[in-house]
Chains A and B, each alone.
Chain A
Amino acid sequence: MLGRLKKALKNLVSEISNKAVVEKEEVIEKEVPKIEEKKEVKKVDQKSEKLTKITEEKKEKVKKGFFAKVKETLVYKELDLKKLEPILEEYVLLLTEADVAYEVAEELIEKFKERLKGKKIRRGEDEKKIIEDALREAIYDLINIPGPDLVEEAKKAKAEGRILKIMFMGVNGVGKTTTIAKVAYMLKKAGITPVLAAADTFRAGAVEQLKQHAERIGVPIVTKPYGSDPAAVAYDAIEFAKARGFSVVLVDTAGRMHVDVDLMNELRKVARVIEPDYKILVLDALTGNDAVEQARFFDEAVGVDGVILTKVDADAKGGAVLSVAATIKKPILYLGIGQGYEDLIRFDPSWFVERLLGE
């Protein structure tokens, strides 16, 4: 049904079923010790480590004695992978429908394969549930990348008397400016007033937008006329913070298509001039397969330390989280869940897995 993915699934099924057969053979072999040695040596040569491990386990089982083994076969059975094929296919669709990029979904199936190898289940247990749990685990492991808590980082910077510089970037319209306002609000609530740098000197209305946010939240802002050098605005904001004893500077940058060379160079220049502690990529949760492209481009061109995903409240399942984690292996820090200042929450991997796969 799905081309390459289905092929991958089929490989997975045949590979594991083959293995299941091999294991069964060995169990029989154990009961006829004479043939055992020869065959085992041959197989170890062929398949090396993994099989040795399995053989060790089998030896353990033999030691347990015949009765225990019979009991075990009664209680446990191998996963019937042929029967599972439609379930796996269903998950593939589920993942792509949740906006997990296609290539990432493929990779995930690979990881999943590892987890299913040699899995045994108790009789009477629901196979689908076992598979689902394994999938949950695989996804959790993929996205569980610890990232900085910006409030803690700001407190540390304040205590050490240095300035924490955070630069925000992303393509047009993902919600950079609003996200900066939310981060500013979060910091202010924690007792640390940040300085905003309106370094988007390109888009009409961008400076006014950030200015209004600054007024509402009650934080200082540094601006320059449209067309000014963004790096100069950012630099001025840092000088301003130094002079007035502020410990955090949040830098807004113009939205730019990641394929726009000139604008990417401009962004690189801002980063070079101010040397930010954190370069944060803002991504729209409604983005589909392009999330992978965006993450990769920004990471290669400027470097990404963390990601904030916006518009998660638009009923987006946020498969982009998975796409990003798998592509650039960078942590998701926060999620934007509305247009209010308080609508910014810490990213929690287990919460996310539940949302993605549902109950």
Chain B
Amino acid sequence: MLEGVRDAVRKFLRSSADYETSVNMFVKELQKTLIKSDVNVRLVLQLTRRIKERALKEKPPPGASRRDWFIKIVYEELANLFGGDVEPDVKPKKIPWVIMMVGVQGSGKTTTTGKLARFYKVRGYRVALVAADTYRPGAKDQLRQLAERVGVLFYTEPGDDAVGIAKRGVEWAKKKGAEIIIVDTAGRHRKEADLLKEMEDIAKEINPDEVMLVIDASIGQQAKPLAETFHKTTPIGSIVITKLDGTAKGGGALSAVAVTGAPIKFIGTGEKLDELEVFKPKKFVARILGLGDL
């Protein structure tokens, strides 16, 4: 992923050109790589402008070479873009903890719901899943099958009252003593006013502790406006990037993070239920830059 950045770093450190020329060359390479990775064009320009400004203004501390200092700046700015140095806290802050899943059609919400159920179950929590996607045919069956496979509580109702199902599902799960309650909702995008309203209504009704935005790694330039709209409707608490097992670079998801300020908590790396990892931004950026663990 983002191998171009690593190449650019190598070239930069080896370059015999003067500092300013090398910085300019590096910044150009970085822009190209980020755009190719679907990071929002405007964000790329912002990011590289900041890197350039810092690189030409800031003085390295005694002992450090200017070039090493520059790589540190790039590392910091990229890490910021991914949500900073903080590792996400995946432990629920209270019990019961209600998570509401949102995202565009086909981004992997239902599968991720199943994976999350497994993640928490393995860690000893009593988990319940609520199927409130009343729109997509087969969606409730899909979640039921996943719940059975993982072995967790499951609630749904026939009919299309998504708000009611979510509300009664959460109440039911609480009575059953569930510690983690995950509500799966229908896929929607930012031009579907009715569905956004429904999302808002569900959130109002169940008052989730965490709204999780599920984003497909292959999403392109629409990631930014999309995340903005979702965030405006129900403030996003965390992000999951799915399908990182393909060739997509996940840059679109980055843009979404930058917009909402929410941390990326998990990444999905396959279709199987255990293919979910906690996301560590610091490690991730270090890997991109080819720096090893910092």
Binding site for B on A (CB under 8 A): 1-6, 93, 96-99, 101-103, 171-175, 178, 203-213, 216, 257-260, 284, 286-291, 293-294, 297, 311, 313-317, 319-320, 339
Q: Known: A172-B271, A287-B218. Is A97-B41 also a contact (CB below 8 A)?
A: yes
Q: Check B31 against A3 for contact (C-beta < 8 Å).
A: yes
Q: Is B107 an interface residue (CB 8 A)?
A: yes
Binding site for A on B (CB under 8 A): 28-29, 31-32, 35-38, 41, 104-108, 110, 114, 135-146, 149, 189-192, 216-222, 225-226, 243, 245-249, 251-252, 271
Q: Check A288 against B138 for contact (C-beta < 8 Å).
A: no
Q: Check A286 against B220 for contact (C-beta < 8 Å).
A: yes
- Could you jot down 15 A-B contacts, CB within 8 Å? A96-B221, A99-B38, A172-B271, A175-B105, A205-B141, A208-B137, A209-B137, A209-B142, A257-B245, A286-B216, A290-B218, A314-B189, A314-B190, A314-B222, A316-B220
Q: How far is the CB of B39 from chain A (nearest CB, A)?
A: 9
CA distance A252 to B139 in the complex (A): 17
Q: Check A172 against B108 for contact (C-beta < 8 Å).
A: yes
Q: How far is the CB of A271 from chain B (nearest CB, A)?
A: 21
CA distance A183 to B116 in the complex (A): 34
Cβ-Cβ contact count across A and B, 8 Å cutoff = 166
A207 CB contacts on chain B under 8 angstroms: 138
Q: Check B218 against A209 for contact (C-beta < 8 Å).
A: no
Q: Check A313 against B191 for contact (C-beta < 8 Å).
A: yes
Q: Check A284 against B221 for contact (C-beta < 8 Å).
A: no
Q: Check B104 against A286 for contact (C-beta < 8 Å).
A: yes
Q: How far is the CB of B67 from chain A (nearest CB, A)?
A: 20
Which residue, of A1, A3, A203, has the highest number of chain B Cβ atoms within 10 A? A3
Residue in A172, A212, A288 whose beta carbon sits within 8 Å of that of B221 in the complex:
A288
B252 CB contacts on chain A under 8 angstroms: 288
CA distance A4 to B29 in the complex (A): 8
Residue in B106, B140, B145, B226 whose beta carbon sits within 8 Å of that of A174 in the complex:
B106
Q: Check A1 against B31 for contact (C-beta < 8 Å).
A: yes
Q: Check B221 against A98 for contact (C-beta < 8 Å).
A: yes
B36 CB contacts on chain A under 8 angstroms: 101-103, 289
B137 CB contacts on chain A under 8 angstroms: 208-213, 216
Q: Check B38 against A289 for contact (C-beta < 8 Å).
A: yes
Q: Check A314 against B191 for contact (C-beta < 8 Å).
A: yes
